[in-house]
Amino acid sequence: MTRLLIEGGTLLGLSSPGDVQRGADLYAQDGRIRAVGGEARRLAREDPSAFVERFDARGKWVLPGFVQAHLHLCQTLLRNGPDDLELLPWLERHVWPGEAAHDAETMSVSARLGIAELLSAGVTSVLDMGSVRHSDALFQAAAAAGIRYVGGNVLMDDPETTPPTLRAAAEEGIAETERLHEKWHGKENGRLSVAVQPRFAVSCTDALLRRAGELARDLGLVVHTHASENEDECALVERRTGLGNLEYLDAVGLLGPRSCVAHVVHAGGSDFRLLARRRTSVAHCPSSNLKLASGICPVPELRRAGVHIALGSDGAACNDSLDLFREMRLAALLPRARRPAERIPAFDVLRMATREGASALALEEVGGLTAGARADLVILDPETAWSLPDDWSDEPYGAIVYSMGRENVAATVVDGIVRYRKEDPSVGGTKPAAEVVREAVRTLRARMEKAPAATASA
């Protein structure tokens, strides 16, 4: 039973650019927004429960929490690895050996480090692609830290393209997703959900992809995968299947309204129309696409076709930050480098980072500031850091997208509970100490040195 009264903030509901209430209160009860405006204070005063937590938001901006629609918490410990590889060699040499080296303890450190960073940057929900094993550690970390988590194990079974150390036979991988579903789905007041996550077409047999689609449909789960990130990946899929990458994912039953596909850098008109027809969301990860030299997602074309666009940082191994402010800024700037230039308004970019992200994660009750919505919020302080002045425009959206960063996050609220305050850099004890992080990395490196080489390019 939680009660939270956020007092006197500027509420940015993001339903339309004019959805701004200044000097307004917001009252949340048991994880949901009960009321905003004058009604909020009255309800808080009349609430018969003993304790109402108050947050003074005067001078601050309150908006729906950020949603990371593509992430790998299992890779946080792989941050600051090789900087200059493209996707397939980077997977073979760094990411897959690193993931294979995890045990439950290092997985937990990796997840806690990532979740602490996310909460401190205003992220309230994540769609997280885990690894083949030790997925319980991800759910445990998310449960304890208080973030809204959709994710679980990754599926990869193809002996031609995946290393023996990081592979599970199709039935084994599917059984693991079913086990996680049984154990975690809907737990923590509905804050934890399981997704069905074939890594990408390259790493999975046809039988596994089809089985994954069936499982997601049977259980009503989100499908999360990578697609058309890199030209070599697309060529490999075409050689193996005779189909374009997205066309193939559709043929095996993986594209639908509860599917979120990361990247979609190398795609054309028929792909855009297919994604729109299937109402599949795309997680745009501009930093990752630039760092791995993959290319630039054709966001304007996808939007014109009617495809939902969400934003993601991808893993810390290829970004190397989990700060969604950076992705918002890049998502807004990259289309302007085209000739002729394309423009996506800051308001629309902010929607990608919030409401459209929630929709990509099939979180119907998340993303708004109206009564009944889940109380997942970020509270921004325009007076900290380097974002002043803030009075050239009546609309604050440009300031958030172009000028602010995670240093402006005053607090992050998930399910009506304050999970991060700027005054507490330990993020409620979630952030592991530096020596714990370094010790976990020493463990991973020692195991990686002993392991056989991986391959993704059969």
**Which residue lies nearer to Zn ion by CB, 314 or 327?**
314
**Which residue lies nearer to Zn ion by CB, 153 or 412?**
153
Binding window for Zn ion (CB under 5 A); candidates: 8-16, 171-179, 209-217, 312-320 = 312-320
**Which residue lies nearer to Zn ion by CB, 69 or 352?**
69
Q: Quick count: other Cβ atoms within 10 Å of Cβ 326?
A: 18
Q: Is 320 in the site for Zn ion (CB under 5 A)?
A: no
Q: Quick count: other Cβ atoms within 10 Å of Cβ 445?
A: 13
Residues 98/389, Cβ–Cβ less than 8 Å: no
Q: Is 117 in the site for Zn ion (CB under 5 A)?
A: no
Q: Identify the bridge partners of residue 414 per DSSP, sorted by sequence position.
A: 417
* CA pair distance 113, 31, nearest whole angstrom: 25
Residues numbered 323-382 forming contacts with Zn ion, rule: CB under 5 A: none
- Residue 382: what residue type? P
- Kindly state the smallest distance separating residue 152's Cβ from Zn ion, in Å: 15
Give every CB contact of residue 392 below 8 A, 6+ residues apart in sequence. Answer: none
Residues 40/418, Cβ–Cβ less than 8 Å: no
Q: Is 158 in the site for Zn ion (CB under 5 A)?
A: no
Binding window for Zn ion (CB under 5 A); candidates: 25-33, 246-254, 266-274, 306-314 = 306-314
For Zn ion, which residue has the nearest CB?
314
Q: Is 99 in the site for Zn ion (CB under 5 A)?
A: no
- Kindly state the smallest distance separating residue 132's Cβ from Zn ion, in Å: 15
- Considering only CA atoms, which of 208, 186, 213 is closest in space to residue 132? 208
Pairing mode, strands 377-380 and 61-64: antiparallel
- Kindly state the smallest distance separating residue 289's Cβ from Zn ion, in Å: 10
**Which residue lies nearer to Zn ion by CB, 285 or 373?**
285
**Which residue lies nearer to Zn ion by CB, 291 or 419?**
291
Residues 146/170, Cβ–Cβ less than 8 Å: no
Binding window for Zn ion (CB under 5 A); candidates: 26-34, 311-319, 350-358, 432-440 = 311-319
Binding window for Zn ion (CB under 5 A); candidates: 73-81, 120-128, 314-322, 399-407 = 314-322
* CA pair distance 23, 104, nearest whole angstrom: 46
**Which residue lies nearer to Zn ion by CB, 92 or 314?**
314
**Which residue lies nearer to Zn ion by CB, 92 or 188?**
92
Structure-block tokens of residue 235 = 């060529």
Instruction: Let me know if 217 is exposed, middle or buried by CB neighbors in 10 A (0-12, 13-18, 19+).
Output: middle
Structure-block tokens of residue 432 = 């592991």
- Residue 106: what residue type? T
* CA pair distance 235, 313, nearest whole angstrom: 25
- Considering only CA atoms, which of 7, 17, 8 is closest in space to residue 346? 17
- Kindly state the smallest distance separating residue 226's Cβ from Zn ion, in Å: 5
Binding window for Zn ion (CB under 5 A); candidates: 118-126, 307-315, 329-337, 425-433 = 307-315
Q: Which of 117, 233, 271, 314 binds Zn ion (CB under 5 A)?
A: 314
Total interface residues for Zn ion by CB under 5 A: 1
- Kindly state the smallest distance separating residue 314's Cβ from Zn ion, in Å: 4
Give the burial string for 389-406 (b: 16+ CB within 10 Å, else e): ebeeeeebbbbbbebbbb
- Kindly state the smallest distance separating residue 262's Cβ from Zn ion, in Å: 5
Cα angle 357-358-361, degrees, rounded to a multiple of 5? 90
- Kindly state the smallest distance separating residue 70's Cβ from Zn ion, in Å: 6
- Kindly state the smallest distance separating residue 72's Cβ from Zn ion, in Å: 6
- Kindly state the smallest distance separating residue 363's Cβ from Zn ion, in Å: 20
**Which residue lies nearer to Zn ion by CB, 11 or 316?**
316
Footprint on this chain of Zn ion (rule: CB under 5 A): 314
